Amino acid sequence: GKITLTMIKPTAVKEHHVGDILAHIEHAGFKIIGLKMTQMPKEKAMVFYEVHKDKFFFDELVNFMKSGPVVVAILEKENAVKDFRELIGSTDPAEAEEGTIRKLFAKDKTHNAIHGSDSDENAVKEAWFFFSEMDQFRY
Ligand code: GTP
Ligand code: MG
């Protein structure tokens, strides 16, 4: 697994943490091979988090994720998915380890600053969900 997909979520963007979060990511050895700011319409947020459609938190999750711009990136590194999930920390920032991105920048379980893919297969799927071929780089 050489890539993962991340999204800096609306609250972290509104609070001006984009630069700090990208610095953490690059300093941890991830190479940014795709990057953009975008805002998901409700429909797109629903598709992105489709696996959670039957969960009690789905509406809150979708309404939050469409509420403002996000910064999306494709990241390259050996063991990208696993290493990135370690870098961001637990879903609930109250349980996130010291020094993790969620410990540093998340508010609560919904407003948890950042997304990371949960498998190699989903990383590739999510990269194509946001980036066309000409916006995915190899360098
Ligand atoms: P993502 O990287 O955003 O996918 O988070 P994750 O992989 O750590 O968690 P998961 O995929 O299980 O859940 C997706 C998102 O749903 C999380 O980031 C949370 O914002 C939200 N979520 C998950 N579980 C709960 C919960 O128990 N309560 C609430 N309010 N939100 C939850
Ligand atoms: Mg997830």
Interface confidence, given as ipTM, is 0.97
* Closest C-alpha to ligand 1, atom 20: 110
- What pLDDT score was predicted for residue 107? 97
Query: Under CATH, what is the fold of the domain 3-135?
Result: Alpha-Beta Plaits (3.30.70)
Mean pLDDT in the chain? 98
Ligand nearest the Cα of residue 95 is 1
Ligand 1 midpoint to CA 104 (Å): 17
Q: Is 115 a catalytic residue?
A: yes
120 has a pLDDT exceeding 80: yes
Ligand 2 midpoint to CA 64 (Å): 15
- Retrieve residue 94's tokens: 């109250």
Percent of the chain with pLDDT over 90: 99
Average pLDDT estimate for 114-125: 98
- Retrieve residue 84's tokens: 């990135």
Choose one of 25, 57, 117, 126 to mutate for the ligand 1 pocket test, by most ligand atoms within 8 angstroms of C-beta.
57
pLDDT grade for 1, boundaries at 50, 70 and 90: confident
- What pLDDT score was predicted for residue 102? 98
Atom of ligand 1 nearest to the CA of 9: 3
Interval 48-93: pLDDT, tens: 999 999 999 999 999 999 999 999 999 999 999 999 999 999 999 9
